[in-house]
Amino acid sequence: MKREEFEQMYAAEDRLWWYQSLRDRVVALLDLDARPASGELRILDAGCGTGGMSARLQPYGTVVGIDLAPFAVAVCRDRRGLADTAVASITALPFPEASFDLAVSLDVISDAGTGNDAHALAELSRVLRPGGRLCLNLPAFRWLAGEHDVAVETKRRYTRSEVLALLAQAGFIPERLTYWNTLLLPAVAAARGLSRLRGLDATTARSDVSVPAAPINGTLRAITQLEGRLLRRTDLPIGSSLLCVARRA
């Protein structure tokens, strides 16, 4: 991913409704707030980007981040103070077996830079202890691909059945697997369709990562908070992303 996209991510990720909502979903599905704040968990953020999720996870344990992009890792260390962050590939994790209690990987195994998503999941399984948990967020449905995918180098989009097959192959037992960003799916689909009509030139493509005007950002945040209440009760049948929690066998 281009350096300017990482700069844009860092500038937006603490305020943009989508990042805020994703982190809420991760914490809720893992039920982390129900745990005592003892710091006992050892957590891997695999593909940490500029560190927003790592920072959110710090109250729950010791967080180790890796990313393939040296610039993103530098941002984590220098701007966020996340010292335990390293340049590494999710397909060759530099950790011994059974090193972590929890691994989080958000929109990473779908990237062109990952290469082999099955290999990445096998590596995540290797570094998790038996019974350790994995949380993934993934882009859903190939028909939602557009300019954003080109800009951030998304290579793969998934259906629920495809994710289940990948998890089983890597030895994971799914606990929750749900689509989300359901209520906003018509708007996302329309925007991505328009971007395809404009053309998908990698040299000029720009991602969706920018903070809209405060009233719009607040409204979108409120919509996803409403959806979050639905997700406490049930899995959703469609959406622009897939979120899963699975346990290593």
Question: What are 110's two structure tokens?
Answer: 């779908």
Helices and strands, counts by H and E, the chain: 9, 7
Average pLDDT over residues 151-157: 95
Phi-psi sector, 199: left (phi>0), alpha (psi -120 to 50), beta = left
| Model confidence pLDDT, tens digit, residues 7-42 | 999 999 999 999 999 999 999 999 999 876 556 899
Confidence of residue 238 (pLDDT cuts 50, 70, 90): very high
The CA distance from 125 to 97, in Å, is 9
Q: Exposed, middle or buried, 74 (CB in 10 Å: 0-12/13-18/19+)?
A: middle
Note the pTM of the prediction, 2 decimals.
Answer: 0.95
Cα(111)–Cα(6) distance, integer angstroms: 14
Confidence category of residue 3, pLDDT binned at 50, 70, 90: confident
Residue 137 and residue 107: Cα distance in Å, rounded? 5
Among the listed residues 103, 244, 116, 85, the one whose alpha carbon sits nearest the alpha carbon of residue 180: 244
Mean pLDDT, to the nearest integer, of 184-188? 97
Is 3-248 a domain of CATH 3.40.50.150? yes
How would residue 136 be classed by pLDDT, with cut points 50, 70 and 90?
very high
pLDDT of res. 202? 81
Q: What is the pLDDT of residue 201?
A: 84
pLDDT in tens, 30-80: 999 987 655 689 999 999 999 999 999 999 999 999 999 999 999 999 999
Mean pLDDT in residue range 119-140: 98
Structure token digits, residue 195 = 């971007």
Average of per-residue pLDDT across 177-203? 92
Distance between terminal CA atoms of the chain? 33
pLDDT at position 38 is: 59
Question: What backbone torsions phi and psi does residue 216 show, to the nearest 5 degrees?
Answer: -70, -45
Rounded to whole angstroms, the Cα distance separating 189 from 197 reads 13
